[in-house]
Amino acid sequence: MLPSMKVVAIGAGKWGTNILNTLHETGNLAGIVELDESQHTTLQEKYDVPVAKTIRSLVPDSFQAVTIATPAPTHLGVGLEAIALGKHAFIEKPITLSAADAEELVKAADQAGVTLMTNHLLLYQPAIEFLGKSIREGLIGDLRSIHVTRANLGRARDVENVLWSLGVHDVAVVLDLVQDQPQDVTAVGDAFLNAGIEDDTHLHITFENGVKAHIHNSWLWPVLDRRTIVIGSKGMLWYDELNQTVTLHKKSINASLQNVNDGEEVVFEGAAKPLTLSLEHFIDCATNGKTPRSDGASARTVIGILEDASRSLK
């Protein structure tokens, strides 16, 4: 169960509704802000909380935090307004569309003394936490590379490319697993459906500690493919996102270039509701003054990588 904190949900669109439902189910929903006034009556009847067109129309002392699930270009303005009112802010990914805007949010939150977090949802899947713990504990030896695939015959966009649409979560996961700063970012991609809007991309990141990461995103792909493979000096881990399992492959190539294969075993299985866990984490951090796992600073780094990748694509 989520800790007790009253939260206003800003945005009642497709994903905003998921947030609304989660907060309502756990008793944390204090109000709704939605620009489309034609939805107000339905929202008020369904959730039995105040519904307004602007955050300033609500009673200031009736809530302590907001969730923001509005179009990405509005995240900066809506976030700054909430922070100026002294409210903790949980912002959907991407936190902004530029690292400079993300930095502005980070500085505003720091000055106001409020918690800023973005919803990098995959970080809160138990399997990802298991991967990070396994790497830090040396289960596969020294970390060498990470390979991520997120592809499907998906819903193609005509504004943002597939990297900005799908890859945000994957970049966040890679940063969380590597725990180091990126040194070099390059990307290649194809724009078959809309000129200048890539529908298939390959992003390559080199970190300061020498670890390499490779992310393939596509919505022009014949099958649903979601996997993360982590390569170490003494073994390999395969995270199958569709089945929520992690398999340890006890395989490597030794100094004599001989293959070592001691078999494989499933070392983790199990899923959860990552949105519930993400919101729980946000409220816990806001209540107790902790730094969120996906705080504003880490989100700023994610956006910086995507900006570097965009320049590389051009």
Per-residue pLDDT of 153-175, as tens digits, reads 988 888 889 999 999 999 999 99
Nearest alpha carbon to residue 39 among 8, 17, 63, 66: 17
What is the per-residue pLDDT for 257? 92
Task: Return the CATH number at 232.
Answer: 3.30.360.10
Asked which of 120, 147, 177 is the last residue of a domain, the reply is 120
Statement to judge: residues 160 and 113 lie in one domain: no
In a domain, 57, yes or no: yes
Domain count, the chain: 2
Q: Pull the structure tokens for residue 237.
A: 């881990």
Statement to judge: residues 131 and 257 lie in one domain: yes
Residues whose CB is less than 8 angstroms from the CB of residue 306 and which lie 6 or more positions away in sequence, other chains included:
94, 163, 164, 167, 168, 171
Statement to judge: residues 176 and 153 lie in one domain: yes
Express each pLDDT in 90-125 by its tens digit.
999 999 999 999 999 999 999 999 999 999 999 999
Domain containing residue 257 = 126-271
In a domain, 18, yes or no: yes
Tokens 């939605």 correspond to 34
The whole-model pTM stands at 0.93
Statement to judge: residues 80 and 209 lie in one domain: no
| Section 78-98 average pLDDT | 97
In a domain, 303, yes or no: no
